Every structure is written in structure tokens, then in C-alpha cells.
Amino acid sequence: MNLQILGCAGGIGGNEPYTTSLLIDDDVLLDAGTGLSRLSIEQLVAIDHVFISHSHLDHVAGLALLMDAVFGKRSKPVTVHATPEVLHALKNHIFNWSIWPDFSTLPNIDHPSMQYEEMQPGTTLMLGERTITSHLVDHVPGSVAYWVRSAGKGFLFTGDMASTPALWKNLGGQAALDMVIVDCSFPDAEAELAQLSKHFCPAALVKDIAAVPASVVFYIYHLKPGQEAHIMAELEQNKDRKFKALKITDNFSF
């Protein structure tokens, strides 16, 4: 299993130019931010499944453009997996014929180019040799993390989140957890803003993951533009943890 980072920024104008999207092999996406613009039309057409962590624009904007790009070029629909709350937001606020066409009815209702598949938190889906499990996290309603593994190895993509002790309790000691991609959006000086917007700052993140083995590497994404170095410096003060800033040049094999 291969993981390519297409986008990982917490906004525009910073060190990383694209918002969140991760490509697993050549056919599965985790989130659909502006990082999708890095792919060719041939690569876009190859995407069969999109798993959405939550409904915020920086994580779904690319989905609308993906569907426009591949329309009429595929023999089967793209399947969008998400919680009921997220699917409701996509249907009512994006693919609603006002913001964007409803590709679940195009070219017609019997042969749509996009289909929705509800995925409740805590459920698992197998795609070939890959296993994807969703876990509820504290962000906007319906937000989930995705634990992805294959052949006994894997990673956790948390999506955007604040303190969620149950997530680490359930997954922290799993053998098939080699790395975690986790949100840490604000420096400690903005802890109040982080709490209000349900994101992590360094102190809150370190406290939340106390039960996770020190061998697990944490890749930090969703760093707010202009504050990347400051946030990472605060995290790196914790010498017993491995923190690295996620980059669009990163590729991982499992």
C-alpha cells in the first residue's frame, strides 16, 4: 500500500500550497482538498473511492472539481464515503444545483457519476487488501478519523480534531499503527482559539496522546500559514515524542 500526500495545509499562503488530500495507491482518496489539483486527468479518472473526514470546505472543495473533471470519462460512479452528517452537508450545501451540479443524478438517476455510501463511526470497509475503519473525533458533527492498514501495517489520519481520548484508547496500542497524521493548527499562545474551533495546539495534543507508545511517529498537518515553524518548535520541545511536519513531497509505503 502506498500513501502520497497531495495536500496538507491549514490554509493558503504558507509553506504548503495545497489543502488536505491524501492518495492511497491510485484509486482511494482521504479528503478532497485543493491538493487534487496536482493530479493529471488520467490520475483523477482512476479514483474510485473518496473518504471524507468532515464537511469543511478545505477538505471537500476538490471533490466538486474532481467530479467535473471525470464526468463522462468513467464507466462506474465515484463512491463518496462519509458519516450521515457529512453526506447531508454535501448533498444540501454543495451538490445542490446552486453551488454545484448534483452529480449523483448525472447523466441520469439510473447511471450517476457519483454515489454516496454512508459509513457510520466505528465501522470497517475492505477494499481489496486494504482495511479502512472510521472513528468519531471531536470537531464538527459527524467528523471522523480513518485508520488504514494492509498486510499488518498502517496509519491513522485523524482529520481535523480536538481532544478525543477514546480514539487513542482504541488505537494507540494497535500493532498495525506505524504512524499518525494529526491536526495541530495553532501555537500554544492561541490555545483558546484552538479549543473554540476544535483543533489542537501543541500542549493539548501532547496531553491527549499520552497513552500512545513513543515509537509511533506523529506527522503534523493543518498547520496554520505563517505559524508552521512556531508550532513545530513547540512540539519538538517534547523530546520523548517523534513529531514531523507533513509535506506534499512525502510518500509512504506500508
- Residues 60-71 have a mean pLDDT of 98
CB contact at 8 A, 201 and 185: yes
Residue 150 in 3-state DSSP?
A: strand
What local confidence, expressed as pLDDT, does residue 237 receive?
96
What local confidence, expressed as pLDDT, does residue 40 receive?
98
pLDDT in tens, 158-184: 999 999 999 999 998 898 898 999 999
**Domain tally for the chain?**
1
CB contact at 8 A, 53 and 144: yes
pTM exceeds cut of 0.95: yes
CATH code for position 191:
3.60.15.10
Q: Which is nearest to 114 in space by CA: 52, 51, 65, 71?
A: 71
What local confidence, expressed as pLDDT, does residue 9 receive?
98
Instruction: Give the number of other Cβ atoms within 10 Å of residue 138's Cβ.
Output: 15
Q: How far is CA 176 from CA 109, 132, 167, 171, 183, in A?
A: 40, 12, 15, 9, 20
The C-alpha atoms of residue 236 and residue 242 are separated, in whole angstroms, by 8
C-alpha cell at 82: 462519509
What local confidence, expressed as pLDDT, does residue 99 receive?
98
Range of the domain at 96: 2-253
What local confidence, expressed as pLDDT, does residue 173 receive?
84
The C-alpha atoms of residue 74 and residue 71 are separated, in whole angstroms, by 7
What local confidence, expressed as pLDDT, does residue 66 receive?
98
